[in-house]
Structure 1
Amino acid sequence: MTDSTTSAPGPLVGWIGTGRMGVAMAQRVARAGVDLTAWNRTLSKAEPLKRDGAAVCETIAGLRGKDVVLTMVSTPADLEQVLLGEGGLLTDPGNLPGIVVDCSTVSTESSAAMRVACEERGVGFLAAPVSGNGKVVRAGALSIVVSGPKETYDKVAHLLRHIGRSVTYVGEGDLARLVKIAHNLMLGVVTQTLAEITVLAEKGGVPRHAFLEFLNNSVMGSAFTRYKSPAFVNLDYTPTFTPILLRKDFDLGLAAARRLDVPMPVTALTAQLVQASVGSGRTEEDFSILLDLQAAASGMTLKPENVVVDDGLGAAAGKDAL
Structure 2
Amino acid sequence: MYPGRLCSTLRDSGCDASTTHERGDTLMSKKIGWIGLGRMGEAMVTKLLKAGHAVHVWNRTASKAAHLAEYGAKIETNKIDLASCDVVFTMVSTTDDLKEVLFGPGGLVTGAKKPQVVVDSSSISQEGSAEIRAQLEGMGVGYLCTPVSGNAKVAKAGKLLTVSSGPKALYEQVEPYLQAMARKVMWVGEGELARIWKIAHNTMFGVIIQNLCEITVLAEKAGIPRNVFLESINDSVLGSMYTRYKTPVLSNLNFDQVTFTPKLLLKDMDLGMSAAKAHGVPMPSAAATRESIARMVGHGHDNVDFAILLQETANDAGLQIKPLNLQIPDGLSS
TM-score after normalising by structure 2: 0.91
The one-letter code of the counterpart of 1:67 is D
Trace 1:122-201 onto structure 2 (pairs within 5 A). Answer: 122-201=140-219
Trace 1:64-143 onto structure 2 (pairs within 5 A). Answer: 64-92=83-111, 94-143=112-161
SS at match of 1:140: coil
Report % sequence identity: 49
SS at match of 1:113: helix
Task: Extract structure 1 runs of 4+ deviating beyond 3 A.
Answer: 4-9
SS at match of 2:140: coil
Trace 1:275-290 onto structure 2 (pairs within 5 A). Answer: 275-290=294-309
Kept in 1: contact 2:87–2:118 (CA 8 A)? yes
Structure 1 distance, partners of 2:313, 2:80, is 48
The one-letter code of the counterpart of 2:30 is P
Trace 1:213-228 onto structure 2 (pairs within 5 A). Answer: 213-228=231-246
Trace 1:230-309 onto structure 2 (pairs within 5 A). Answer: 230-237=248-255, 238-309=257-328
Structure 1 distance, partners of 2:261, 2:186, is 26
Trace 1:52-67 onto structure 2 (pairs within 5 A). Answer: 52-67=71-86
Once the two structures are TM-superposed, the CA of residue 222 in structure 1 deviates from its matched residue by 1.0
For residue 19 of structure 1, the aligned residue among 23, 26, 38 is 38
Unmatched 5+ residue regions in structure 1? 316-322
The one-letter code of the counterpart of 1:131 is S
The one-letter code of the counterpart of 1:87 is G
SS at match of 1:73: coil
Structure 1 distance, partners of 2:139, 2:35, is 19
Structure 2 distance, partners of 1:21, 1:101, is 15
1:212 to 2:200 alignment:
no
> What is the match of residue 318 of structure 1?
none
Once the two structures are TM-superposed, the CA of residue 155 in structure 1 deviates from its matched residue by 0.7
Structure 2 distance, partners of 1:113, 1:309, is 45
Once the two structures are TM-superposed, the CA of residue 10 in structure 1 deviates from its matched residue by 2.6
Kept in 1: contact 2:101–2:107 (CA 8 A)? yes
> What is the match of residue 3 of structure 2?
none
Kept in 1: contact 2:80–2:110 (CA 8 A)? no
The one-letter code of the counterpart of 2:70 is R
Kept in 1: contact 2:162–2:182 (CA 8 A)? yes
Unmatched 5+ residue regions in structure 2? 1-18
State the Cα deviation string for residues 23-74 of structure 1 (Å, max 9, x = none).
1111111111111100111111111111111111100121012110000111
Number of aligned positions between the proteins: 311
State the Cα deviation string for residues 210-243 of structure 1 (Å, max 9, x = none).
1111111111111111111111111111211001
Kept in 1: contact 2:80–2:109 (CA 8 A)? no
Structure 1 distance, partners of 2:183, 2:135, is 30
SS at match of 2:129: helix
The one-letter code of the counterpart of 1:69 is V
Structure 2 distance, partners of 1:163, 1:70, is 12
Structure 2 distance, partners of 1:180, 1:75, is 13
Once the two structures are TM-superposed, the CA of residue 95 in structure 1 deviates from its matched residue by 0.4
Structure 1 distance, partners of 2:326, 2:67, is 33
State the Cα deviation string for residues 247-273 of structure 1 (Å, max 9, x = none).
000111100100100000010000000
SS at match of 1:51: helix
SS at match of 1:126: strand
Once the two structures are TM-superposed, the CA of residue 19 in structure 1 deviates from its matched residue by 1.4
Structure 2 distance, partners of 1:272, 1:132, is 24
Structure 2 distance, partners of 1:151, 1:293, is 47
The one-letter code of the counterpart of 1:111 is S
State the Cα deviation string for residues 158-205 of structure 1 (Å, max 9, x = none).
001111111110000010011011111111111111111111110011
SS at match of 1:36: strand
> What is the match of residue 50 of structure 2?
31
Structure 2 distance, partners of 1:74, 1:282, is 18
